[in-house]
């Protein structure tokens, strides 16, 4: 069957036969190289399980559930008991098992109205490659992962063909995985909580989708425990199974997935759940916690209210690290006039912090609460 692999090892065949209550007879194993793949099967004449290459149309293969499968072309869904793969590292592993070429350069969210999943483009052609993206159209096939724990239930296939994908694959253990519950719908872009805060106001907020920066007075959450706490406070479902670093070089933060253009959750193909990862694309919204730092409006040269100026490199580095942006020491200096500040500047495609007095109209200063 499509979602099963034949077993080609003696140990695996013996174990499966024992599980199914079928007698295994190792003395009848025939490993003669006759051009056919080795497989575990039930001998139709002797009614015993054995490993060999001399099976016929009347014999039945013993199979195990495949960890990864390739869906039919153009079907934007996974087979029953399988889930889409949305992590780059998992897509790479699945591609290796299935003999496909993974290309992480093609990862992204190029068609935001669709879900970003692992898929193979133009299967069985020289232009075929896999990636995690939302631009899967008619000539793409999803790559899916078995959504069950490691306790497998082998199945006998009475009409299995000798020509089966991965005929020599041994039983593969899969990571235990839970079904994802539906997330609570929240339409507010910023949600308050009753949790005791460091100062007046909410302790946790949800940023608008697609903004890789927290609101003023808040900072990213960088560990799973705090992400789970913030998720519970905001009424969001947290799933640490998806924690990882699938976009190396991007900051790893807590965020909620699958937020639509109106900031509504659970309105796209997949549920909206939180995790700690670096793969936060256009449809993700950062979850942020109350911070001792405040990023002022661009162009404003003073720190508001009770906040104070940061003027030394050490404290500016601490602030940028907490805010999830990198520090660019090469921008340090006294290139303008007046007092130096910890400044947040556009640095190519991203933002970076430095200590200088050359604040421009688009630059923000980072201030500190006492």
Q: What pTM did the predictor assign?
A: 0.47
- pLDDT tens track for 232-288: 999 999 998 889 888 887 889 999 998 888 888 988 878 899 999 988 877 899 999
- If you average pLDDT over residues 166-192, what whole number do you get? 33
Strand 273-277 with 237-238, pairing? parallel
Report which of residues 64 and 85 the model is more confident about.
Answer: 85
Inter-residue contact 350 to 336 (CB < 8 Å)? no
18 pLDDT tier (thresholds 50, 70, 90): confident
Higher pLDDT, 250 or 355: 355
Mean pLDDT for the chain? 80
Dihedral-angle region of residue 21 (phi above 0 means left; psi in -120 to 50 means alpha; beta otherwise): left
Q: What is the pLDDT of residue 181?
A: 32
Residue 148 banded pLDDT, cuts 50, 70, 90: low
CB 230 within 8 Å of CB 287: yes
Read off the pLDDT of residues 84-108 as tens digits, 9 standing for 90 and up. Answer: 898 888 899 899 888 899 998 899 8
Asked whether the beta carbons of 40 and 100 are under 8 A apart, the reply is: no
Structure confidence at residue 227 (pLDDT): 96
């Amino acid at each position: 069957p499509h979602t099963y692999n034949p077993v080609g090892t003696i140990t695996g065949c013996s174990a499966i036969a024992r599980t199914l209550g079928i007698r295994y007879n190792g003395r009848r194993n025939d490993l003669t190289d006759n051009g056919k793949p080795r497989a575990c099967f039930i001998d139709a004449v002797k009614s015993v399980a054995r490993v060999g290459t001399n099976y016929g149309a009347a014999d039945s293969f013993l199979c195990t559930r495949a960890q990864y499968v390739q869906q039919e072309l153009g079907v934007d869904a996974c087979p029953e008991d399988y889930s889409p793969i949305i992590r780059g590292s998992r897509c790479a592993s699945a591609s290796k098992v299935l003999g496909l070429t993974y290309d992480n350069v093609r990862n992204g969210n190029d068609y935001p109205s669709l879900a970003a999943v692992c898929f193979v483009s133009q299967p069985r052609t020289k232009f075929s490659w896999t990636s995690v993206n939302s631009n899967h159209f008619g000539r793409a096939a999803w790559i899916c992962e078995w959504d069950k724990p490691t306790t497998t239930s082998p199945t006998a296939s009475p009409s299995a063909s000798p020509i089966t994908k991965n005929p020599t694959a041994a039983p593969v253990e899969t990571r235990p995985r839970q079904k994802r519950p539906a997330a609570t719908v929240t339409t507010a872009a910023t949600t308050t909580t009753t949790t005791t805060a460091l100062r007046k106001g909410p302790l946790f907020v949800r940023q608008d989708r697609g903004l890789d920066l927290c609101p003023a007075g808040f900072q990213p959450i960088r560990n799973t425990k705090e992400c789970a706490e913030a998720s519970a406070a905001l009424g969001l479902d947290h799933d640490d199974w998806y924690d990882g670093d699938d976009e190396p070089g991007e900051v790893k933060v807590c965020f909620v997935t699958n937020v639509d253009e109106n900031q509504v959750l659970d309105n796209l193909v997949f549920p909206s759940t939180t995790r700690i990862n670096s793969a936060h694309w256009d449809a993700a919204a950062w979850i942020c916690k109350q911070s001792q730092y405040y990023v002022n409006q661009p162009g404003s040269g003073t720190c508001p209210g009770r906040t104070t100026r940061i003027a030394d490199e050490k404290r500016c580095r601490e602030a940028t690290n907490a805010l999830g942006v990198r520090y660019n020491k090469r921008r340090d200096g006294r290139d303008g006039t007046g007092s130096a500040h910890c400044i947040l500047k556009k640095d190519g495609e991203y933002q970076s912090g430095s200590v200088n007095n050359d604040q421009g109209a688009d630059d923000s200063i980072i201030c500190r609460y006492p």
